[in-house]
Structure 1
Amino acid sequence: MVSGRTRARACPERTCVGCRKRAAKHELLRVTAVEGVCVPDPRGTLPGRGAYLHPEQSCLDLAVRRRAFSRAFRAQGALDTEPLRQHVAVGSDSAPAP
Structure 2
Amino acid sequence: MSGRTHARARPERTCVGCRERAAKTDLLRIVAVGDDCVPDDRGTLPGRGAYVHPALVCLDLAVRRRAIPRALRAPGPLDTAGLRRRVEQAE
Q: Normalised by the size of structure 2, how large is the TM-score? A: 0.93
AA at the equivalent of 1:44: G
Unaligned runs of 5+ in 1: 93-98
2:88 equivalent in structure 1 = 89
Q: 2: distance between equivalents of 1:61 and 1:4?
A: 41
Q: 1: distance between equivalents of 2:65 and 2:4?
A: 40
The equivalences for 1:61-72 within 5 A come to: 61-72=60-71
AA at the equivalent of 1:42: D
Q: 2: distance between equivalents of 1:24 and 1:8?
A: 15
Q: 2: distance between equivalents of 1:76 and 1:48?
A: 14
The equivalences for 1:1-98 within 5 A come to: 2=1, 6-92=5-91
AA at the equivalent of 1:90: Q
Describe the SS at the equivalent of 2:62: helix
Q: 2: distance between equivalents of 1:5 and 1:22?
A: 21
Aligned length: 91
Q: 2: distance between equivalents of 1:11 and 1:3?
A: 19
Q: Classify 1:5/1:21 alpha carbon distance in 2 versus 1 (closer, same or farther; 3 Å).
A: closer
Question: Rg bigger for which structure?
Answer: 1
RMSD: 1.2
Counting aligned pairs with the same residue, the percent is 68
**Per-residue deviation, 1:57:** 0.2
Q: 2: distance between equivalents of 1:27 and 1:49?
A: 19
**Per-residue deviation, 1:76:** 1.7
Q: Normalised by the size of structure 1, how large is the TM-score? A: 0.87
Q: 2: distance between equivalents of 1:55 and 1:91?
A: 7
